[in-house]
Amino acid sequence: MAYRLVVNAKRTQRDEAINETAAITTRELSEEDQRIVSSSACQIVQAIKNGQWTSTKVVTAYIKSAIRAQDETNCITEVLFADALKIAGELDAHFAATNELKGPLHGVPITFKDLIDIKGYDSSMGFSQWANKPAQADAELVRHIREAGGVPMAKTNVSQGLANFECSNPLWGVTKNPYNAKFIPGGSTGGEGALLAMGGSAIGWGSDVGGSVRIPAHFCGLYCLKPSSGRISISGTVDPSPGFKGITTVLGPMARSVQDVELASRVVFGKSADYSSAPVLYRGVQLAQKLKFGYYFNDGMARITPACRRAVSETVEALRRQGHECIEFELPSPEKASEIYIALTAASGNKDFFKNKGPDPTDPNLELALAYVPGFLHTMVWWYLKRADPVLARVWKVSTEKSAYEYTNWEVKKDAWIHQFHEKVSCPYICKAIYENLGQVWDAQGFDGIICPGMASPALIHNATKYLLALATAALFYNILDCPVGSIPVTRVDPKLDALPEDWLSTRSNVPSSKELDKMLYKGKWAYDADAMGGLPVGIQLVGKRWEDEKVVEMMKVVDDALGERGFGPDGWERWKAAHSG
């Protein structure tokens, strides 16, 4: 088939580019290389400034580490290694001549999700008919990174058309989790998650329209920020669904420390030549000495696994030990949020996806989600689910193509739910009469932030998303609300602590969830298994009010410090590998 010729050519092109560079640099990491790739972006800049390392030495070490990550996880799409070494040499010449850094990212290796344009390279997003069409200009984000001294080094793999949180597509293949190849790295920014976790990049950039940077951060033990829309320019990013504005896509940084998330954000916030972002630069924030957090465990779609519940509990306990206040609350109408998200994103009947994929096969993980179901059969399935699984029935009912009138009605419902969330964040510890009369708003509660699971489960095994795609509900709330969200790694799956209790399957949670989804998550081939998942990272989300992005970053520091040393950070993967080798 024609598409196979494109696939073979692109993969060969990538492999040859890697081998050409490896022939110059070698593949083996020296002890100094190991120190470099185990350093944060902030530490790299300081070391270059102090004359300890050169940009060329740093970039060379990260290239070696990126090749290792590619060999083990299949995370890279476009290889910029030769360009990166050239830029590093220019930065070294600049520093030698001026004794000054070019900018705050001087010499820092940076990688980008495949949809972000870099001049001279494809943004194929897993579609063969989008291959061999190199971008004519850098995305504005890339331009700002270059101006700050950052070194673009590679582009990374995604789910087909960004439509799933399994990172696989017919063009580039399947990306694996860096901690266990049997599991997924998340998506759609999964290649970035795998590469960054293994020290193949110092800072990564992805997009988020339904958890696409947060889910890989949760699965791969990383930090990230999903900012409010309008803080970072999206000019020069490829849109698989042009014209769709129901849920706003944002770009966000991924890193191995909160400090690097802050560094990346400072460089690009509020900078736009085409007015695609608000002219609001990164602002300093002074937090109160004592903070107040709301927290919850359940997203209304799936029963949370013991490992992910423990991550939230440990975070809350750590904050309380530091004197912060944490109050449990319940999400208002979480099932409505899932309904709204699906209604809006499915409104076109997925026509854009099928147009974009052309002759390519549909990724197996998307076959159920994108399958065409005739109207009468769709109604029959809904009637069955209405009785068997009311939660899933609501989502199924609205997963149909819509007229413009129907679409705008769902926009109205979205606005109403957003208003409800901000006006009625319910708290079980407050008198019901007060709740009914006054409502519980962010300000009335005094919440500085909200702590919640990264997802109901740690990383899934490959192909499980075909049946468990709805688990992304945990993330999509905050795309609808357009709230800034940080992701923080908290712990790892412990086979003893996180095993299912003996009566787990025979008892039902008192929190509403999808019966079918719970069945898939806890029984059979795709089931949660603490033994098999042992060692996989588990994270949390930290949510702030819209526009309070900088406050979220500062609160991430508070949470990170409260949790203390727990095996994550720039050298997290290296330490984990050393402890589990042999």
Annotated binding site: 162, 188, 209-212
* Residue closest to 203 by CA, chosen among 169, 166, 251: 251
Neighbouring residues of 256: CB distance < 8 A, sequence distance ≥ 6: 40, 196, 197, 202, 222, 223, 568, 569, 570, 572
Strands 109-113 and 203-208, bridge-based pairing: parallel
What is the distance between the alpha carbons of residues 522 and 152, in angstroms, rounded to a whole number? Answer: 42
What is the distance between the alpha carbons of residues 175 and 547, in angstroms, rounded to a whole number? Answer: 33
Catalytic residue among 10, 57, 113, 155: 113
- The secondary structure of residue 330, as a DSSP letter, is B
* Residue closest to 407 by CA, chosen among 567, 247, 240: 247
What is the distance between the alpha carbons of residues 125 and 189, in angstroms, rounded to a whole number? Answer: 11
Neighbouring residues of 264: CB distance < 8 A, sequence distance ≥ 6: 41, 105, 203, 205, 253, 255
Q: What is the 3-state secondary structure (H, E, C) of 245-313?
A: CCCCCEEEEEECCHHHHHHHHHHHCCCCCCCCCCCCCCCCCCCCCCCEEEECCCCCCCCCCHHHHHHHH
Q: What is the 3-state secondary structure (H, E, C) of 75-98?
A: CEEEECHHHHHHHHHHHHHHHHHH
Q: Give Dmax (Cα) for the chain.
A: 74
Tally: H helices and E strands in the chain? 22, 13
What is the distance between the alpha carbons of residues 412 and 480, in angstroms, rounded to a whole number? Answer: 12
Give the type of residue at 38: S
Catalytic residue among 39, 55, 123, 212: 212
SS3 of the chain: helix, strand, coil, percent, to 5: 45, 15, 45
Neighbouring residues of 510: CB distance < 8 A, sequence distance ≥ 6: none
Q: Is 188 annotated in the active site?
A: yes
Distance of CA 241 to CAs 35, 161, 295, 365, 514, Å?
42, 9, 34, 19, 29
SS3 (DSSP) at 571: coil
Give the type of residue at 114: D
Strands 250-255 and 223-226, bridge-based pairing: antiparallel
Could you tell me if 216 and 190 are in contact, meaning their C-beta atoms sit under 8 angstroms apart?
Answer: yes
* Residue closest to 556 by CA, chosen among 107, 253, 327, 248: 253
Q: Is 113 annotated in the active site?
A: yes
Q: Which residue ranges are tagged as binding site for substrate?
A: 162, 188, 209-212
Catalytic residue among 124, 188, 207, 229: 188
Query: Where do runs of H (alpha helix) occur along 40-189?
Result: 41-49, 55-73, 81-98, 140-147
Active-site residues, by number, are 113, 188, 212
